[in-house]
Amino acid sequence: MRLELVARRCAQYAGNAALSALLWCGAGCLGGRDVSVLDADLTPMDSVAATGTLQLPLTAASPSGAAYRLRNAHFAITNPFVEPPVETVVSGDSDVLSVELPLSAFAFDYTIALQDGWALVEIGPDGKDHQVAATLDGASAQSFTIKSARVTPITYQFVAEGTRIGTGTGSVAVRVTVDDTAIDDFEDGDGDLIPIAGRNGSWFTFNDGTGIETPAPDSPVLPEVLDASANSVLHVTGQNFSPAVALPDGGFAFGAGVGVLLRVDPENQRALPYDASGYDGMRFDTTTSFPATTQLRLSFLVATSATTPVEEGGTCSTGCSDDFGIFGVLPFSPFSFSSSFSWDQLTQQGFGTPVAFDPKTILAFKWIVAFPDAGQGASANDFDLQLDNMSFTAPVSSAPPAAPPPAMSGAPEVPAPPGSSWAELAR
């Protein structure tokens, strides 16, 4: 999370008049000239003064529509080189923090420091709030300068629930925006999504009943630490699954999978549609291993209301479960990559009722491994699947300039072209 404190020098001239203005403008605004809102108040003055204004709205709205506020925020501002010297602590008890400051004596003579005790809260639709885990990413103290007719941005960045939250730049009264794209990085050690932006689902496993999956269906799915990196990942393994053939009971051997509901009714745990239209798509890291003598088909699927049967919380009555996604046979093992997908790059598999993709009605994400039938026995069909660093991708215009998660070993992040297969992604 970045909170941008912007300092403005308001020169007050002789003639017993002062200009006090609140400017709202886009990034790159110079001296308040590119203005979309101007609220000016001319007030007679009895003397000539030189002051500046430091302003910070402490509320924010994210692309998902979730609202946030920084609470218990106290900023120590000092400058021993101006007359009189500045040494004050200002508190963010209102929605906008504002303080008048004298003109700088020289460059970077002001220091502002966020003091301990602050908290970031997410405000629900009912007006109630809950605190989210957040840490300051960078130094708490920064230097800045107040100059005439200039805009001076001061950036504080926080990591909230694994997500960096930030503001735009170049305005006097900064409009805070929140990037709540993180879905799960598994570092919290539980089987639930990061509880942010209305997401409250949990991870689950499922399979066709022909093999052994760990964790087993209906058991907790908890992150694991698998190597010296000490990073937690979602880890699912399977053994002895049938090749993809028709089963005696009339079903079909689809293999095994892991998934997560984005939003559930807390009363009955039934899936509810999640509105992800504020995001462009999503990304994740994965590593899949399987025997060299066997083929493995990996599918990443996005289930919407229109592809999900009514009894599972959707609206589909015929030709259901033809979810949108990326799917195909993996070219080698282990197969590791970091990749992002935009919504319009996902396609249905083609066996069900064709529907339009609606990001406002997403119910679940699913990863399914299956073994194409090449005459091999079930004993050859084993897999090891790891997932990490799941997040939505924010629109370019609203995304803060934050470094992306590191790509997994041997695999740079590559945007997926429409209708991509995993083999195409690996090229």
- pLDDT 10s digits, 336-362: 888 788 999 999 989 999 999 999 999
CA torsion 356-362-367-372 (nearest 10°) is -20
Signed CA dihedral, 371, 374, 376, 377: sign only: positive
The pLDDT assigned to 26 comes to 26
As a whole number, mean pLDDT of residues 150-176 equals 48
DSSP run (H or E) holding 414: strand 414-415
Q: Do 238 and 208 contact (CB within 8 A), yes or no?
A: no
R_g of the chain, CA atoms, integer Å: 27
- The rounded percent of the chain whose pLDDT value lies above 70 is 68
| pLDDT exceeds cutoff 50 at 416 | no
Spell out the domains of the chain, with CATH numbers in brackets.
Answer: 2-180 (no CATH), 184-426 (2.60.120.430)
- Taking the CB of residue 300, how many other CB atoms lie within 10 A of it? 22
Is the pLDDT confidence value at 209 over 90? yes
Do residues 420 and 337 make contact, with C-beta atoms less than 8 angstroms apart? no
Computed over every residue of the chain, the mean pLDDT equals 75
State the DSSP string of 144-211. E---BT-EEEEEEEEEETTEEE-B-SS-SS--EE----EEE-STT-SSB----TT---BEEEEE-SSS
Question: Is residue 212's pLDDT more than 60?
Answer: yes
Closest CA to 56 of 135, 171, 143: 171
Phi, psi (degrees; rounded to nearest 5) at 279: -110, 160
365 CA to centre of own chain: 15
Local confidence band at 229 (pLDDT 50, 70, 90 cut-offs): confident
240 in Cβ contact with 211 (< 8 Å): yes
Q: In this structure, are residues 328 and 295 in contact, taking their beta carbons and an 8 Å threshold?
A: no
pLDDT tens, residue by residue, 262-275: 999 988 888 999 99
- pLDDT of 302 over the 80 cut: yes
pLDDT in tens, 363-415: 999 999 999 999 898 999 999 999 999 999 877 544 444 433 333 333 333 33
Predicted pLDDT of residue 139: 81
The C-alpha atoms of residue 152 and residue 78 are separated, in whole angstroms, by: 16
pLDDT for residue 257 is more than 60: yes
Rounded percentage of the chain residues whose pLDDT exceeds 90: 40
The mean per-residue pLDDT over the stretch 56-82 comes to: 77
Segment 51-68 mean pLDDT: 65
* 190 has pLDDT over 50: yes
